[in-house]
């Protein structure tokens, strides 16, 4: 990842966050992961990593860049409103895999409990 640019920035005082659209240029390289994009946005905006969540990241066809959307909360406490799937997607690959397994196991247990109670 070489360069990141902010394309659009809107303050949302109701949810206590900044909503941004950004572009990451990655010439000759692969599309960055959500975790890498999160770190880049955090560094660019000088925000705590725990207060930044990348909502989407898509490569631009025919160009060596990606366009993404991120929420930057004024404080990590306000970031609790982000959906679980977004929080998991922003984790580093190893931690993301572990967390997905935990969620899968928890869902299986809940299904088994629900099926056992219907008899």
Per DSSP, the three-state class of 15 is coil
* Confidence (pLDDT) at 3: 87
* Sequence spans of domains, the chain: 3-117
In the predicted structure, residue 118 carries a pLDDT above the cut 90? no
DSSP 8-state secondary structure symbol assigned to residue 31: P
DSSP calls for 41-84: HHHHHT--GGGEEEEEEEEPTTSSEEEEEEEEESSGGGGGGS-H
Give the contacts of 29 (CB within 8 A, at least 6 positions apart): 1, 64
CATH of domain 3-117: 3.30.70.330
For position 42, what pLDDT does the model report?
Answer: 93
pLDDT at residue 45, rounded to an integer: 92
Tens-place pLDDT, residues 77-101: 998 999 988 998 898 888 888 988 8
């Amino acid at each position: 990842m070489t360069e990141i640019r902010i394309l659009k920035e809107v303050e949302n005082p109701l949810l206590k966050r900044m909503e941004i659209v950004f572009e990451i240029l990655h010439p000759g390289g692969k599309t960055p992961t959500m975790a890498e994009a999160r770190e880049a946005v955090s560094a660019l905006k000088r925000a705590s990593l725990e207060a930044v969540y990348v909502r989407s990241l898509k490569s631009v066809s025919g160009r060596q860049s990606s366009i993404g959307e991120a929420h930057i909360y004024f404080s990590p406490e306000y970031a609790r409103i982000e959906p679980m799937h977004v929080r998991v997607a922003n984790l580093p690959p190893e931690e993301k895999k572990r967390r997905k397994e935990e969620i899968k196991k928890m869902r299986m247990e809940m299904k088994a409990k629900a099926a056992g109670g219907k008899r």
